[in-house]
Amino acid sequence: MLRELHRELGIPEEYGRDDAKPVYDEASELVDIGPNLVGRMQRLEPKSAVQWAAMVDAAAGDGIQLLIVSGYRSFEYQAGLIRNKIESGQSVSEILRVNAAPGFSEHHTGRAVDVASPGSRPLTEEFEGSPAFRWLTENAAGFGFSMTYPRDNPYGFIYEPWHWARKA
């Protein structure tokens, strides 16, 4: 299924072979954790949902608001993101620097969240200057979350200070 999806999207056959990009399975059990910034219900796998909620509550106790932009994504949803960007005129190579190919997104696991906060534009490096980012840097590990894509990460993805995931 993934090979066919990759072919349809024009993803090179060697994608993921020449670097350390891991392959992820889709989560088998998910729970609703609330709507994202645009009102779309987000889901995480159960243990991550509990830890996310605890982390949001702890941050709020410190006066920090953590907002979810994105949680779980299916292979097909990830493909849809890529299709939309192709249709808007972006090249596949450009897209793959920012979006993982289906099967390679940590969001498939249900353990990853893209985080935003009031006062910074979502999904931009601007988040790095926010109080929320500073709070996450100091506290997220206590909830099992870490930033997966720091600068110059081995996966070849852009720096994503907004992307945090809980290890299995």
Q: What is the pLDDT of residues 17-45, one digit of tens each?
A: 877 789 999 999 999 999 999 999 999 99
Instruction: Give domain 2-166's CATH number out of 2.130.10.10, 3.30.1380.10, 3.30.43.10, 3.40.50.2300.
Output: 3.30.1380.10
Domains of the chain: which residue ranges?
A: 2-166
Q: What is the pLDDT of residues 63-114, one digit of tens each?
A: 999 999 999 999 999 999 999 999 999 999 999 989 999 999 999 999 999 9
Q: What is the pTM of this model?
A: 0.94
Nearest to 136 by CA among 37, 64, 42, 69: 64
CA atoms within 13 A on the CB side of 164: 31
Nearest to 42 by CA among 98, 114, 100, 102: 114
Q: What is the mean pLDDT of residues 5-26?
A: 90
Give the pLDDT confidence score for residue 1 in this predicted structure: 80
Which residue type occupies 97?
Answer: R
**Helix pair angle (46-61, 131-139), 10° resolution:** 120
pLDDT category at 129 given cuts 50, 70, 90 is very high
Nearest to 141 by CA among 39, 43, 58, 81: 58
pLDDT category at 156 given cuts 50, 70, 90 is confident
Q: What is the mean pLDDT of residues 121-132?
A: 96
